[in-house]
Structure 1
Amino acid sequence: MALPALKPNQLRPPAEPAKALARPRLLQQLASSLAAGCFTLLQAPLGYGKSTLLGQFARTLPGRSAWLRLTPAENQPLGLLVHLHAALGLPAAQRATADAEGLWSEIQHCLESASEPLTLLLDDLQLLNSPPAYQYLEQLLHFPPPALRLLAASEGPPRLPLAHLRRDGRLTLIDIHELALDSEETRQLAAARDVRLSADAIYQLRAGSEGWISGVLFWLDAYHQAASLGQPPADLRPVTVQAYAHARQFLEEERLRRLKPELLGFLERTAVVQVFDAALAAELSGRADASEAIRQLRRLDLFIEERAGERSEYRYHPALRNSLYQRLAQRDPQRLRQLHRQAANWLLEQRRFTEAIYQFGRARDFDAVLATVDRHTFDLLREGQVNALIDFLGEVAGHAGSDSFTLAITEASTIIVTNDVAQTCQCIRRLQGLLRRQGIPRHPQRVQQTIAFLRSRLAYLGGNLAHGLEVAGRALQRFPQHNAASSVLHFDRASCLFALGRLDEARDEAELALGELQGFGLSGYTNLIQLLLGQIELAQGCGEAAWQRFLALDELPASSSASFYELFHHLGKGLALLQANQLEQARQCLNQAEVLALDFPHCAALAWVFHHQAGLYWAQGQTHQAKARWDEVRRMARQYRLFTLYRQAGAWRARLAVREDDQDFLLDWLEEWHWCFRHYGEHLLPEEWLAYAWVQRHLGQHGKAWQIHANLKEQAQIQANRRLQLDALLLEAGLFQDRGARTEALGSLEQALQLASRYGFGQLLQYEGDDQLESLRELLLPQTRAQLGLAEPAPPRERLNALFRRLLAGTETAASALIVPLSRRELDVLQRMARGQTNQQIADALFISLSTVKTHINHLFRKLDVTDRDSALRSARELELLG
């Protein structure tokens, strides 16, 4: 039997692309996974840079490594073993036999006898689908040689069984969400290709591509083509159209032309809707086996995303959906319109009203659109599909029958969540014009209440909070009728009160609005009120209550696919995790919120998400990124006239400027602060007063700083605002230090420490409190506490470790970097985990039982405040526990 031909080009990484994007975060994630002894799988559709990333990582590896790009030919066991044998650098003479078992024996001997780590990188793992071939890799995963480290890239889930790895904590999956470009990476990729785009253009590109690297590259190529004709294009829409054409050709060549006609037809017909389940797919495709077709598409990883819920729903990537839609539109436009109408009727029967009217609009059936809106206004508000609502309002504008109170009030309902100031002003003018032209509508109070809540929302967004309270209060007195509009007025009052720091009143108004809207059956918009209530709970130190509230927001209505309201539970969870000092988890939640905000270009949510991300950057010690993000928030807020947010971001940016002695920013900010004080008097934000106090201390104006401190401390006590109380205590400690009053400063820090421990405030060391690190360490010493005569014991060390893991970092030994130190045996186990040893290998090396190893690892996880090996090793490196 002849040996399969050896193809050398399969044994080397792909060439580095010109102007390749560096992705240090992902490269570090790969390194951490290898160090933890995990099998690392990059799993995403075509064009997400998996092979490029794997090649970049291969070139950084210091020790031995082997590369194998798989092809369908390796489904023959001998073909796989020949290439694997060659990749490992084994003598060619050993491959002179056609004996598969002999080759496998040589490969195993090589791997088992390796004295130093050997990394095997497998590309295109999805092509290996023959059990006789992949059984060899399965053996390596079940019984890994001590020195072997495995990474692979795959389009779709590989056929290899991986459940046992997930169970044992030995699987690291880097999927489409991790591989997708974020906004900063999109900017870097554009800059590498000499394209300078505005921040807003970057966000649009990021949203339109959903981080698909190939899609971004096609867009940049289209931009270059347009720019080559003269000046850089001001209108980017033609560039986007051309980019979609490039992507369509790419997908056609690489995937669509290879599909069976019946599967391609299924794709085309289901692409007329934005989201579908098996039942809708069966309705549109006429296939009774729609579930089987979906399963095949998911196996191919053909840009299809599953959304879990009461029923599984699916959506295509915009580039694929556009390609399929254009294929059908060019070949059979009449059939396309029939499919839209068919989808609309089915969705209407399922009471999925927003999607139904969107489909009626695409079918150009505007009478059906208007009839559905007139009948189901509340349902449209409940579903929260803001994009679809605004798109159809734009499509029916100027159509006969569209100049109605119903449509105007529906438009107002979208503004409640989009916070679009320009649209709000336009909507007020439209309602007032309709009142003048048409006289008294069916529900005059409802219209007046709608105008009032739009005006009060404008006041809140514009920073005129006292006026917002006045407008909403006067409208509630003048129009006492209870309906959704009056509930929104209560919510607007709650928003203004919360911004002013009047937490108790804000909570009462928000709970009233929430109860009323829930009574009316509104379950989507109420997530926004739940977010506000959760923020109040966080400020008052009720972190667990806020966390449970935000978790409950995951339970979305069955018809809420692509709902704008999903953003609020990600944002809320991110804020709760940030407060608890669980920064990596907070980053993940805030990133999810950012992705959702990018998906809804009609809303102003992105700027608010950026504001909280900036706080996270500062908490992580990344002050440069925090400063850049707050500067971007202020630019966006000024552009969209969101002046409450502009002032909040400015206050935080000023606090950071104090830390960095940024005099230029402080002078500009002080000018803005005095302008606000002249216009709003005492009705400034607590964030502004606190920042002003820190600035006054920085300028040596201690008297002013003490006066503001006293007012903030009193307000914090009255409102049970324990987060503000913590900030005031840290300011107080700094002011005492300036006096040289060491005992008083330590006393203030002791109060801050006890408060932070009692209520779970990780902010103790995240911002200015970091300056007090040495004093806080000193406070934990028994002799210091005895000297100060502190009657209350120090908080439990487990509690301190959970909140402030680096509190003791930098003391005498590495082990003391933890508040709860590791034992010698736990350090031994940790070191062996870092070398990639399995639990059984650690047990054998230390002559202890497997259950004892697991006990040590559980203790490690508790002391490091982590839940898996990857996080434990990352934390250990941060704390310099590995030497």
Structure 2
Amino acid sequence: MTIPIVTTKLYMPPPRLKTVTRHRLIEQLNEGLNRKLTVISAPAGSGKTTLVSEWLASGDRPFAWISMDEGDNDPACFLTYLFTALQNIDPNIGAGIFPLLHSPQPLPLESMIATLLHEIIAVPNPFVLVFDDYHVLKTGPLDDAISFLLERMPPQIHLVIATREEPRLPIARLRVRNQLNEVRASDLRFTYSEAAEFLETVMGLELSPENIALLEARTEGWIAGLQLAALSMKEQIDVATYLRSFSGSHHFILDYMVEEVLTQQSASIQAFLLHTSILARLSGPLCDAIFGESGIDSGSGQEMLEFLERANLFIVPLDSERRWYRYHHLFADLLRQRLHQRFSSTTGEDECILAELHTRASIWYEDNGLEMEAFHHAVAANDTSRAARLVEGERMPLLFRGGVIPVRNWLESLSHEELDARPALWVMYASALLMTGQVTGVEPKLVAAEKALQGLKQDARSKDTLGHIAAIRATLAVSKHQSEDIMAEAKRALEYLHPDNLPVRTATTWSLGYAYHLQGNRIAASKAYQEALSNSEKIGHVVITMMATIGLAKLQEADNQLHMAAETYQHVRKLAGSPPLPAACEAHLGLARIFYEWNDLHKAEHHGQQSIQLARQLEQTDRVVATQVVLTRLKLAQGDVSGAAAMIANAEHVARKHGFIMQMPPIAEAQVLLLLQQDNLTAAARLAQKHDLPLLQARVLLAQGNTSAALAVLEPLLEQAEAKQLEDERLKIMLLLAVVLHAHGDQAKAAQMLKDALVIAEPGGFIRTFVDEGIPMKRLLCDAEVYGTMPRYREKLLAEWKEEEPKREGGNSNLPHHVDSLIEPLSERELEILQLIEKGLSNRDIAQQLFLALSTVKGHNRNIFDKLQVQRRTEAVARARQLGLL
């Protein structure tokens, strides 16, 4: 479901046939093209839009034009029109972004602007981008996004902003850098000669030089004032007396002259102007709908619009076919003011007439597929029921189609009584808050909805509302990984939601799949993900399509189907668009895990950093922490023990601060591996037991030399993994069990376990799972009993050690053939310390570099001397060189 485009917003108003060419201003605009930004800032009626359109029409530089309105305060709407406008310059700009703009996730504006700039660099020719009526943008993030655009703009683009107010942009900095071209109200005022040409050529008046000078002085060269004065003077006999009769500010001059202009029009023209002033844009059929069955006295709506254009009555065509128009903004404001004055009686009857006009406009817009405009007019009509129905939408709520900001603002304006009368609006309010990241305000709105529902008879509508409440609570529980809460709320939601409410049912089905996934029920999870994926593709719910696909990729990864999982994660990246939606962080995290397993540490780190960058755009998420755990393992693999320690410490701090309880076991697992690397077995054992990590407990027992206890842990663990069909866990346990069996003296059983593991691991291309077991695994792979099993795969794994060992900080894990002459081989840590001894480091220096206690280093020294059968450091180095260890 895409955001509807009002194409007239992207058309530059065509220059009038009769006009005054502003040579001095056009020359100023041309000179400003070598700067980044042109700001044309002046009050309404100063001729800003007319000047820009005449300048662009007189030149040969291509341009993209956007006429801003209130709806553009929604980031999705703003981006939709920005990318659509720029496709007039290059049709490839933003092609991948449109399916993502109705996402329920807050859109990362800066990353989208960054991608836009990257695409603009490929545009060969310079062009102009125009933001007309920029003052209607009141959203801080959009100002930040435009500032970001200005700061990084390539030379191909020149930005023009026409506004009534000073834009909230880094104007002073651009001015200092000579990157700003400024056109102000004083520049736009007509000079005497321009005023004379305008009054004679455009307005058809023959005035004396004295009267022209008087009129120019009275209006201060203000174009709107000149035009209104000219219109009102056409029926005046004594022009000089008339000109002396008005004075004061622009507002009072306009107020007076509009009244004069209106009184000169026929009753039917006046009625048309007043009644259609409620419209931001006008077309013939829409104007006909405003007047309803009574019709327009002086012809059709199209005929009236063409007449007003010929009469110069402040109407601006918006396309070359003259199908759409708008009134001059200030003229429209004054017409609306008089409309409200006319329909503001104490009886309320006239107010009903005004509401009826808005209702007719709303009906026409809805019938023509423009639900957003229909919603705005329903709100203006105070028709809460109609507005609520439009917000809910038939297939996709208006919230998901670029309307989250205006809908939320409308809901905020309603009283508690109005919301209580329609409990579904409380739920929509909660949904809007959830979508804009205001999570703390969600639950109170849901409670209010439930309270309002208590007094109502339960029917299909109220049941659907209860289902929507449960669905939102399931979504909140998903962010906290609370499987039982997700399960309970999701099942309740699916029980109550109407069968036709596909958007909410689809999101809830995904939540249910996620709960099954957390509980280890992978079959049920896969079924739920498949159903959510099928439905989301039907209704165009891109985010749920992404999340369901991610869920399936995780299941493939857990089933050891790494190549298939990588392809699925890459497909998610395509779905996420460019720049990607923040939810794509999960795909990058999955790819980081897979490339780590394939021992492509460079790509693993790249995807890990991408995951963190995207995850930081989300609120209340633990994905940054989850990625840091993976990157900690990567740093350990690179031998960067200090970097690993710093990263996992930061991950633990963030997890505790934000209550990310689900991340504590993975953090503890990485910490245990780090402690094992530092030979701190006591702390490792304590942490593994505290967090109930049996696989890590077995590793600690192995490091302590207690192979019997390690076997007692691993053998039942393997049976459980096989019973539950947890293929990923099964492979990890088998490899560790093979190492423990070998250390326990059961070489035959160890070899068979490794051969079985090789058969399982080869299709997925597993590498790090083997390499991370260290030298004992390398010895096992060299065992004669394993030699004939999967020879190519086995040789590939052995080759990885040659690439692996130089990565380790100060380590030398090569095991030369001479090592076999030792009574007992040196451990990997002992070889690492031996090389540092060769470099001349003291015991204290070694302890600091390897993050070990000094007593631990001395203990390793004694073991090294005993195994090499020497007494001193120099003898140890010499003996090691003789054996080929150094």
With the length of structure 2 as denominator, give the TM-score of the two structures. Answer: 0.47
With the length of structure 1 as denominator, give the TM-score of the two structures. Answer: 0.47
